[in-house]
């Protein structure tokens, strides 16, 4: 492991290793943390890698402790990488009293508006800097990469995957913010980080990307709980995204899961299906 | 559900339900909380029930969010019940600055020393009051009950099971405090809750119970990580318990797991084996 990376903690888990790491991020201009699950298969050979992007208020820990993903990643031989959801530290500006903007809410964009444009570059962090660091320090096959996420992180997975079909072979999402330009969370984040010119938003809106021709070969898998309060509040709009996909000929599987909400109990229930979806594309 | 029980939260999970509940406890003389996973099979018929006792500093949440147990409980059709680890509330005395005594550290005994004897009756709570409440409010088969736990809760599972082989058909533990009279954690807890007369400790020491003739028909399953720092600190002493079992003819399977520590990553790795162990006895 290079000097660029510092181990915070490592734990044996399903015959592999869960590790938490920190490093000086150039693009976010601060120290960043992420978690990795290295499956047992990586002791013998390089393995495919699957990135997970978390939702509002989360860090690299939520998915790692609550999703129950390691069991399946160990079964299929996939590495899991879970970054934090925003830049961190005392030098990083925050929105006081807001849990849906600022720290914990980077929204996977490269901010252009001051003061956010000094640190809030989660898009470039996720698609460029973090993979470069992973490829240099872990036994992965860079050409076998998938991406998934939850809520704000589902939005992140959709846009990263759709903007880079050359880098990501497979995409899936749990309850993603699917048309951020059309919901309050997205409008608040985009106007704050990107400014009020909506033309700049389109590059980070999965539904708009599909309308403008973005495609990925394999079907996108989306699970959405029917009792998710944020679905009722029109923050997620998966049906808007699915309709855009259908019109554009992008294969998508949107599964409405009766009774499920927005929590990690929902994610844990279907994480096995998602990892299987990615394994089918990556292994 | 009776008026005695208040629902705090419920979540769909693996086609069953995770619920958090609170109630006025008579034996602990305060409000208590616990978590239940009701598996999908309980929609058709009553199911066996498996109690999980948590370790120092935990509440009913740690196991429920981190162990990944619901997947297996749903597969085998077992209900899971996870109580808190001590009485709670402003009226309940606590040990300031101690994480291994007082709140979060009830040690599954009925305290006899003042001021702890007003609330700290976790033994009676686990073996009597909570099962009575569960039987009255959930579709369980009371004659098909198992118990397991982690660390302090592993100690709890061993003593509850060994003292009531009529009530518990199966016992297992992760890194249990196996001979509490012989380790610092146990000595601190027992002298505080039970007084300095060691004769009173024997009733709550699994190794002493085995020596005095306690037996359970089925083999006790214990998993212990070799890299567990508390094992090195002689707080757990599973080999002392296993030796007592061997001498007494009590079947025990002690598995030393190379590389694993004391965390929930260790528990999550082997939770499937433990639930299978209980399912073999209960279903």
DSSP string, B211-280: HTT---SSPEEEEEETT-HHHHTTS--HHHHHHHHHHHT--EEEEEETT--SSHHHHHHHHHHHHHHHHH
The pLDDT tens digits for B237-254 are 999 999 999 999 999 999
CB contact under 8 A, A12 and B269: yes
Name, in order, each residue with C-beta under 8 angstroms of A123's C-beta and a sequence gap of 6 or more: A108, A109, A110, A159, A160, A204
The 10 Å Cβ neighbour count of residue B158 is 33
- A166 is annotated as an active-site residue: no
Confidence of residue B224 (pLDDT cuts 50, 70, 90): very high
Name, in order, each residue with C-beta under 8 angstroms of B273's C-beta and a sequence gap of 6 or more: B221, B223
CB contact under 8 A, B12 and A71: no
Distance between CA atoms of B283 and B267, rounded to whole angstroms? 22
As a whole number, mean pLDDT of residues A144-151 equals 98
**What is the DSSP code (8-state) at residue A105?**
B
B263 vs A contacts (CB less than 8 Å): 11
Beta-strand runs (E) in chain A:
5-13, 16-25, 30-38, 47-53, 79-83, 140-150, 170-174, 220-225, 252-257
CB contact under 8 A, A259 and B18: no
Closest-CA distance of chain A to residue B115, Å: 37
Q: Tell whether the model's pLDDT for residue B18 goes beyond 80.
A: yes
B14 vs A contacts (CB less than 8 Å): 268-269
Peptide bond into A85 cis (omega under 30): no
As a whole number, mean pLDDT of residues B46-52 equals 98
Residue appearing with tokens 């010119």: A197
Residue appearing with tokens 């610092």: B184
Mutate to test the interface with A, among B265, B266, B267, B276 (most CBs of A within 10 A): B265
pTM of the entire structure?
A: 0.96
CB contact under 8 A, B227 and A12: yes
Closest-CA distance of chain B to residue A66, Å: 5
B15 vs A contacts (CB less than 8 Å): 269
Q: Considering only the beta carbons, identify the residue of A65, A263, A265 that sits closest to B66.
A: A65
Which pLDDT belongs to residue A1? 73
Using the Cβ of A16 and the Cβ atoms of chain B, whether some distance falls under 8 Å is answered with no
Using the Cβ of B75 and the Cβ atoms of chain A, whether some distance falls under 8 Å is answered with no
Q: Considering only the beta carbons, identify the residue of A12, A71, A264 that sits closest to B261.
A: A12
Distance between CA atoms of B194 and B116, rounded to whole angstroms? 9
Q: Considering only the beta carbons, identify the residue of B13, B263, B265 that sits closest to A265.
A: B13
A268 vs B contacts (CB less than 8 Å): 13-14, 68, 70-71
Using the Cβ of A273 and the Cβ atoms of chain B, whether some distance falls under 8 Å is answered with no
Distance between CA atoms of B157 and A164, rounded to whole angstroms? 52
Mean pLDDT of chain B: 97
The pLDDT tens digits for B95-118 are 988 999 999 999 999 999 999 999
Q: Tell whether the model's pLDDT for residue B1 goes beyond 90.
A: no
Q: Tell whether the model's pLDDT for residue A2 goes beyond 80.
A: no
Distance between CA atoms of A240 and A245, rounded to whole angstroms? 9
Q: Tell whether the model's pLDDT for residue B259 goes beyond 90.
A: yes
Distance between CA atoms of B236 and B231, rounded to whole angstroms? 5
This model of the complex carries an ipTM of 0.95
Mean pLDDT of chain A: 97
- Active-site residues of B, by number, are 151, 228, 262
Q: What share of chain B is helix, strand, coil (3-state, %, to 5)?
A: 40, 25, 35
Closest-CA distance of chain B to residue A266, Å: 6
Name, in order, each residue with C-beta under 8 angstroms of B65's C-beta and a sequence gap of 6 or more: A65, A66, A264
Using the Cβ of B265 and the Cβ atoms of chain A, whether some distance falls under 8 Å is answered with yes
Q: Considering only the beta carbons, identify the residue of A11, A14, A260 that sits closest to B263.
A: A11
A11 vs B contacts (CB less than 8 Å): 261, 263, 265-266
Residue appearing with tokens 């196996």: B178
Distance between CA atoms of A157 and A170, rounded to whole angstroms? 10
Give the gyration radius of chain A's Cα atoms: 17
CB contact under 8 A, A269 and B18: no
Q: Considering only the beta carbons, identify the residue of B70, B261, B272 that sits closest to A11.
A: B261
Q: Tell whether the model's pLDDT for residue B76 goes beyond 90.
A: yes
Which pLDDT belongs to residue B96? 86
Confidence of residue B162 (pLDDT cuts 50, 70, 90): very high
As a whole number, mean pLDDT of residues A18-37 equals 98
- A262 is annotated as an active-site residue: yes
CB contact under 8 A, A13 and B265: yes
As a whole number, mean pLDDT of residues A222-237 equals 98
Confidence of residue B3 (pLDDT cuts 50, 70, 90): confident
Q: Considering only the beta carbons, identify the residue of A12, A15, A265 that sits closest to B11.
A: A265
**DSSP string for A214-248:** ---SSPEEEEEETT-HHHHTTS--HHHHHHHHHHH
Collapsed DSSP state (helix, strand, coil) of residue B150:
strand
Using the Cβ of B139 and the Cβ atoms of chain A, whether some distance falls under 8 Å is answered with no
Using the Cβ of B226 and the Cβ atoms of chain A, whether some distance falls under 8 Å is answered with no
CA-nearest residue to A74 within chain B is B269
CB contact under 8 A, B268 and A66: no
Six token digits for residue B278: 């209980």
Which pLDDT belongs to residue A150? 98
CA-nearest residue to B272 within chain A is A71
Which pLDDT belongs to residue B282? 98
Collapsed DSSP state (helix, strand, coil) of residue A73:
helix
The 10 Å Cβ neighbour count of residue A229 is 10
CA-nearest residue to A61 within chain B is B66
């Amino acid at each position: 492991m290079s000097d660029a990376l510092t181990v915070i903690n490592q734990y044996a888990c399903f015959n592999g290793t869960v590790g938490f790491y920190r490093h000086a991020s150039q693009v976010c201009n601060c120290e960043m943390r992420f978690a990795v699950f290295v499956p047992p298969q990586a002791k013998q050979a390089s393995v495919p890698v699957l990135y997970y992007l978390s939702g509002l208020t989360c860090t690299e820990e939520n998915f790692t402790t609550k999703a129950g993903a390691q069991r399946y990643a160990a079964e299929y031989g996939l590495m899991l990488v879970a970054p934090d959801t925003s830049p961190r530290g005392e030098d990083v500006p925050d929105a006081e009293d807001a849990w849906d903007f600022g720290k914990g809410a980077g929204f996977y964009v490269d901010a252009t508006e001051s003061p956010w444009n000094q640190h809030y570059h989660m898009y470039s962090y996720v698609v460029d800097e973090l993979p470069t660091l992973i490829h240099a320090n872990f036994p992965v096959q860079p050409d076998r990469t998938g991406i998934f996420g939850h809520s704000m992180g589902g939005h992140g997975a959709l846009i990263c995957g759709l903007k880079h079909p050359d880098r990501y072979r497979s995409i899936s999402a749990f309850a993603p913010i699917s048309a951020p330009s059309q919901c309050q969370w997205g409008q608040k984040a985009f106007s704050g980080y990107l400014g009020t010119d909506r033309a700049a938003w389109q590059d980070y809106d999965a539904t708009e990307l599909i309308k403008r021709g973005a495609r990925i070969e394999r079907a996108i898998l989306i699970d959405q709980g029917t009792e998710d309060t944020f679905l009722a509040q029109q923050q997620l709009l998966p049906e808007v995204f699915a309709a855009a996909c259908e019109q554009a000929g992008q294969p998508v599987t949107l599964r409405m899961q009766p009774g499920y909400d927005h929590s990690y109990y929902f994610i844990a229930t279907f994480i096995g299906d998602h990892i299987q979806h990615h394994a089918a594309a990556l292994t």
